[in-house]
Amino acid sequence: MSDSAPPHRDPAQGPRHGRLATRPHPPVTPGPTGLVPMTGPDGGRVALAYVPEPAADASPYRLVLLLHGAGGSARQGLDLLLPVADAHHLLLVAPQSSAASWDLIAGGFGADVGRIDGLLATVFDGYPVYDVTLGGFSDGASYALSLGLANGDLIDAVVAFSPGFAAPPVTDGRPRIFVSHGVDDRVLPIDVCSRRLVPHLHDLGYDVSYEEFHGGHDVPTPIRDAATTWLTTPP
């Protein structure tokens, strides 16, 4: 992030500014449960979702969008929190980036913002949702932070496993943030990434929970569990 907070958004700003337009609304038709491939207008797979069985009291889901690392897959994004989805009633959606990594990494918001907006619309049409979280690993974590800070009026929380940076062109709201990083990370070294990023986020007024761990470029089970507890415990 830059040394000062980006300007507050203009309502006219859209995908190139990282702005998501879709908002939760009452479901139109109940969607399927379990592992659900999600396709685009051309029939190609653009995401993979996991939907737990509806709760006995029909309570809504927490929707978590999970973003894979560079060169990764939607399945790898989904696996970040798949082991805890049923226990915590998390509806997981893992988009596939339109290129090898996310559009912002390649130079600016665009195609992937539009894809995520479309996925949100599909999910809201089929399922009751009470909160929206962005999460990711590596490049996906950097993207989750950047997109989340630009959409704090929709995104209530961001989970960033081993991020490199945050670069929202605009900001809106104050989502709470969880960041983890391995002290032996050789891909995105902690000293030039999270140890700089987290204090800067604090300085800008964000509520950040930060976990360092002994390990490399990874998401160990204890870190996943710590992030899940943080996410599902009311602030």
Q: Identify the CATH number of the domain in which residue 42 sits.
A: 3.40.50.1820
In a domain, 55, yes or no: yes
Question: Mean pLDDT for the chain?
Answer: 92
- For residue 13, the model assigns a pLDDT of 59
Mean pLDDT over 47-62 rounds to 95
Say if 184 falls within a structural domain: yes
* Alpha carbons 102 and 67: distance in angstroms, whole number: 9
Residue 179 has, within 13 A of its CA and on its CB side, a CA count of 28
| Radius of gyration over every alpha carbon of the chain, rounded to an integer in angstroms | 16
Given a contact cutoff of 8 angstroms between Cβ atoms, the answer to whether 150 and 129 are in contact is no
pTM (predicted TM-score) = 0.92
pLDDT, position 8: 38
Confidence of residue 10 (pLDDT cuts 50, 70, 90): very low
Is residue 235 within a helix (H) or strand (E), and if so which, with residue range? none
Is the model's pLDDT at 108 over the cut of 70? Answer: yes
Share of the chain above pLDDT 90, in %: 84
DSSP at 101: S
**Confidence at residue 42, expressed as pLDDT on a 0 to 100 scale:** 66
How many domains is the chain built from? 1
- Alpha carbons within 13 angstroms on the beta-carbon side of residue 87 total 9
Is the residue at 167 inside a domain? yes
Give, as one character, the DSSP assignment of residue 171. Answer: B
The answer to the question of residue 5 being in a domain is no
- Structure tokens given for 224: 């996943």
Examine residue 220 and state whether it is found in any structural domain, yes or no.
yes
**pLDDT tens string 156-212:** 999 999 999 999 988 999 999 999 999 999 999 999 999 999 999 999 999 999 999
- For 218, residues 6+ apart whose C-beta sits below 8 A from its C-beta are 162, 182
Q: Which domain holds residue 90?
A: 29-232
Residue 164 is assigned to a structural domain of this protein: yes
Q: Which residues pair with 38 in a beta bridge?
A: 47
HSE, side-chain direction, 13 A CA sphere, residue 186? 0
- pLDDT of residue 73 exceeding 70: yes
Residue 24: inside a domain, yes or no?
A: no
State how far Cα 233 lies from the chain centre: 18
Distance CA 175, CA 171 (A): 10
Whether 18 maps to a domain, the answer reads no
Q: What is the pLDDT of residue 173?
A: 94
Q: Check whether 228 has a pLDDT greater than 50.
A: yes
Quickly state the pLDDT bin for 107 (edges 50, 70, 90).
confident
Rounded distance, CA 7 to CA 19, Å? 13
Is residue 80 within 8 Å of 161, Cβ to Cβ?
A: yes
Q: Are the beta carbons of 108 and 19 closer than 8 angstroms?
A: no
